[in-house]
Amino acid sequence: MKTILGILSFLLLILSGCAPETGSKASPQMRTSRLVYILNSGDNTIGQFRLNTSGNLEALTIPTVATGSCPRMMVMDKKGEHVYVGNYCDDTISQFQVGQDGALSEIGAPVSIPALAEAMVLSPDGRFIYTTSFQDRSISRYQINTDGTLSLVGATSHPDVPLNLIFSPSGKYVYVASLAIDDITQYEVHSDGSLSLLSPATVPTQSCPSGPLGVKTVQGHDYVYVLSCAGAQIENYKIGTDGALSSQGVVTTGLFPINFAFTSMNVYTANIGDASISSYSIQVNGELQNLSQISIPAGLTPENVEVDELNNEVYILDSFSNKILRYAKNVGGTLRSEPNLVIDSGATPSRILFK
């Protein structure tokens, strides 16, 4: 099932659409203006926008910048000064500096990475970027230099094909979901950023963990959440004082959850199997409570979900129909049933960042 989902995601990445069109206007609500970057896998670009106070996305003077081939991952450094894009088809990371006007400019040549990178994650301390390799069964570590460029400083062999990883909130531990192992692999993070397996090295799961993974601190305790490839589930783990995970149970999602996003009090999943969004509240014990038995429709193929906490809204990237949908949050975290903004990106949107 993990392989099937991987193939589906890859096919979605190589689809491209028509030229961008002007989308619908936003609802009449004042918003905090901010920069928005949209990764377009269909035409190998990043769309550059400013969200205005009326809630509409205005393209910057230079509307797009080029990436490598088949971009599928995008992260920003902790200071908001640099953006990094993982390119699946040419096995590179493109590096960009954020200008004073918000425009991105490439710095240095793209950095080579092991083939078929499945994930790219920034360490909590902002010092390193980690990538997972399908082909090499490894986790590579890149130092972020003072000028924003990346340098390879080490790699760790993984027992299986690593799909997704996440750091604990403290940055002391890393947890990895793999292709064939239906367990979560646990690592300790050393002061130089290198990884070593914990004892025990893995923790059993109740489902089929594929990721992505998420973390949350609740009432002084840390939790890890993992999407399941086997069906419609999120499994919840508590992080012990020694870094070891213990399962806290599962919660039902829509069909085939492919991504999720966290706020201070809520979790939202993008369910690609039934084109829906599921909404949850985070309880004081770290458990997730489904806010509604009715999932919110989310286009045709919602590949990613992201939250704009400044403006209390949730964005869905519908890669097949080349649309970006935005939903307002109600009190308590439920979503309005209809999006308040729909725009046609025309280029298979797959990731979104806010600054």
How far apart CA 270 and CA 76 sit, in angstroms, is: 22
Asked if residue 351 has pLDDT above 80, the reply is yes
Beta bridge partners of 17: none
Residues of the chain with pLDDT > 90, as a percent, come to 81
65 Cβ partners below 8 Å, 6+ apart?
45, 46, 48, 96, 103, 104, 105, 106
Q: Are 241 and 258 in contact (CB under 8 A)?
A: no
For the chain, the average pLDDT equals: 90
Q: How far is CA 334 from CA 33, 306, 327, in A?
A: 23, 15, 10
**Cα dihedral 269/270/275/278 (nearest 10):** 10
211 — pLDDT class (breaks 50, 70, 90): confident
**pLDDT recorded at residue 28:** 58
Cα 51 to Cα 102: distance, rounded to the nearest angstrom: 12
Query: Are 269 and 254 contacting, i.e. CB atoms less than 8 angstroms apart?
Result: yes
Is the model's pLDDT at 279 over the cut of 50?
A: yes
Enumerate residues 6+ apart whose C-beta is below 8 A from 293.
none
CA distance 330 to 314: 11
Question: Is residue 295 over pLDDT 80?
Answer: no
Write out pLDDT tens, residues 317-331.
998 899 999 999 998
pLDDT of residue 182: 86
pLDDT of residue 2: 52
Question: What is the pLDDT averaged over residues 152-166?
Answer: 95
| pLDDT > 50? residue 347 | yes
Let me know the angle formed at the C-alpha of 174 by 173 and 176, rounded to the nearest 5 degrees. 150
A 10 A CB-CB count for 336 gives 15
Which pLDDT score is estimated for 229?
Answer: 72
CA 340 – CA 251 distance, rounded (Å): 28
The mean per-residue pLDDT over the stretch 281-306 comes to 91
Percentages (nearest 5) of helix, strand, coil residues in the chain = 5, 55, 40
Higher pLDDT pick, 345 / 223: 223
Report the alpha-carbon distance of residue 283 to residue 266 in Å, rounded: 9
Place of tokens 């129909």: 321
Task: Name the token pair of 11.
Answer: 């096919």
What are the pLDDT digits (tens) for 176-201?
A: 999 888 899 999 999 999 999 999 99
Strands 296-297 and 276-282: antiparallel
Answer yes or no: is pLDDT of 269 > 80: yes
What is the per-residue pLDDT across 127-150, written as a single tens digit (0 to 9) for each?
Answer: 999 999 999 999 999 999 999 999
User: Does residue 16 register a pLDDT over 70?
Assistant: no
Q: Shortest CA distance to 12 belongs to which of 341, 348, 311?
A: 348
CA–CA distances in Å: residue 45 to residues 62, 63, 64, 71, 104: 12, 10, 6, 8, 11
In the predicted structure, residue 111 carries a pLDDT above the cut 60: yes
pLDDT confidence of residue 129: 98
Please give the pLDDT value at position 13.
41
Cα separation of 60 and 101, whole Å?
8
Question: In 10 A of CB 152, how many CB atoms?
Answer: 14
Sign of the CA dihedral running 333, 336, 342, 348: positive
Residue 320: CB partners within 8 Å, gap ≥ 6? 12, 15, 299, 300, 301, 348
Q: At residue 11, does pLDDT exceed 90? A: no
Backbone angles phi, psi at 6, to 5 degrees: -65, -45
Q: Which superfamily, per CATH, for 1-53+253-355?
A: YVTN repeat-like/Quinoprotein amine dehydrogenase (2.130.10.10)
Per-residue model confidence as pLDDT tens digits over 78-105: 999 999 999 999 999 999 999 999 999 9
Count Cα atoms within 13 angstroms, Cβ side, for 204: 1
* pLDDT at residue 29 is higher than 90: no
For the ranges 14-28, 33-47, 294-308, the one whose mean pLDDT is highest: 33-47
What gap in Å lies between CA 314 and CA 86, rounded to an integer?
24
Instruction: Categorise residue 341: left if φ over 0, alpha if ψ from -120 to 50, beta otherwise.
Output: beta
Query: What is the pTM assigned to this prediction?
Result: 0.90
